[in-house]
Amino acid sequence: MEKWRVYERIVALLSTEKYDDPSLTVIPNARVTGLISNRKRQIDVLIDYRFEHDLTRRMVIDAKERKRPIDIKEVESFEGLMKDVGAQRGVLVCTNGYTKAAKNRAQKHIGIEIIPAEEIDTFNFNSWDNCLHQKCEDGLVLWDRYFGVSIQDSPPYVMATGKCDVCHRFHIWCWSCGNRKVLGNEDEWQCSCKEPWFWLTAIEPEEDNTKSIYLLFCSASDIKIVDRIPL
Ligand SMILES: [Zn+2]
Ligand SMILES: [Zn+2]
């Protein structure tokens, strides 16, 4: 794996720990449609409201693995990306610091943090799984949510959900039987342990003409939105 790619993944993983809020979803290597450019923009880590399209909660993180300090130009182009995707806040994470002008230019809505390059060598990806989709190359699944269901007095059933950082497909991991499953964008799945619920994915239009893929948990009593990826 190339060094900058490892660095992006480290920043994504640390972001799931740092922004550990059940109402937020962390999407590594996201691709969302720019509101101004109308083009797909790549975002190293997108932090978005989990349950519906709400740009007031949107935050973008850019990982800059650089030999030199980041400068004012990089801050300006990052601010341009933030505007295009409607993010209110942004964080630039860099290996080798930043110039004073870059810091001044960043003002309040852009944070600059340093994670030194040495961390790249000490890091392991044990907590990530390979993407289960046959055609996805090199994708890793970041499990970012644990989901428990209780039926009457039985101990809760626990499932983990995550998404691949290359093809972005949702993954479900049933802890009762150990099954793991990748879901397509408009898909449906019931685990072979045959509990009385199933999972659905659906692409839904949002008010501003963008779309999201929703991951839904469906049982006899209700349908819950568990996760969302903006497109
Ligand atoms: Zn994948
Ligand atoms: Zn199962």
CATH for 46? 3.40.1350.10
Looking at the structure, do residues 90 and 137 belong to the same domain, yes or no?
no
Rounded to an integer, the average pLDDT of 79-91 is 95
Rounded to whole angstroms, the Cα distance separating 173 from 129 reads 11
Q: Is the pLDDT of residue 90 over 80?
A: yes
Share of the chain above pLDDT 90, in %: 68
Phi, psi of 85 (to 5 degrees): -95, 5
Q: Report the alpha-carbon distance of residue 216 to residue 197 in Å, rounded.
A: 11
Position 128 scores a pLDDT of: 84
What angle (nearest 5°) sits at the alpha carbon of residue 83, between those of residues 79 and 85?
115
Query: In terms of domains, do 134 and 111 share one?
Result: no
Of the candidates 130, 163, 131, 139, the one whose C-alpha atom is nearest the C-alpha of residue 27 is 163
Which residues, 6 or more positions from 126, have their beta carbon under 8 angstroms from its beta carbon? none
pLDDT greater at residue 194 or residue 216: 216
- Nearest ligand to the CA of 141 is 1
Averaged over 122-135, what is the pLDDT? 86
Number of domains in the chain: 2
Q: What is the DSSP letter of 70?
A: B
Give the Cα separation of 140 and 9 in Å (integer). 9
- Confidence at 220, pLDDT banded by 50, 70, 90: confident
Q: Does residue 150 sit in the same domain as residue 77? A: no
What is the C-alpha separation between 82 and 43, in angstroms, rounded?
9
**Cα-to-centroid distance, 180 and ligand 2 (Å):** 8
Per-residue pLDDT of 20-68, as tens digits, reads 898 999 999 999 999 999 999 999 999 999 999 999 999 999 999 999 9
Q: Taking residues 151-178, what's their average pLDDT?
A: 89
Alpha carbon of 185 to ligand 2 centroid (Å) = 21
With 90 as the cut, is the pLDDT of residue 221 above it?
no
Length, in residues, of the chain: 231
Using alpha carbons, list the distances in angstroms from residue 100 to 61, 115, 116, 213. 20, 18, 18, 41
Residues 108 and 156 placed together within one structural domain of the fold: no
Among 84, 106, 122, the domain-final residue is 122
- Tell me how far the alpha carbon of residue 132 lies from the centroid of ligand 1, in angstroms: 7
* pLDDT(206) > 80: yes
Mean pLDDT score of the chain: 91
Give residue 96's domain range: 3-122
Cα 160 to middle of ligand 2, angstroms: 11
pLDDT band of 222, cuts 50, 70, 90: confident
Q: Verify that 92 and 143 share a domain, yes or no.
A: no
CA trace torsion 168, 170, 174, 180 (10° rounding) = -50
For position 194, what pLDDT does the model report?
A: 78
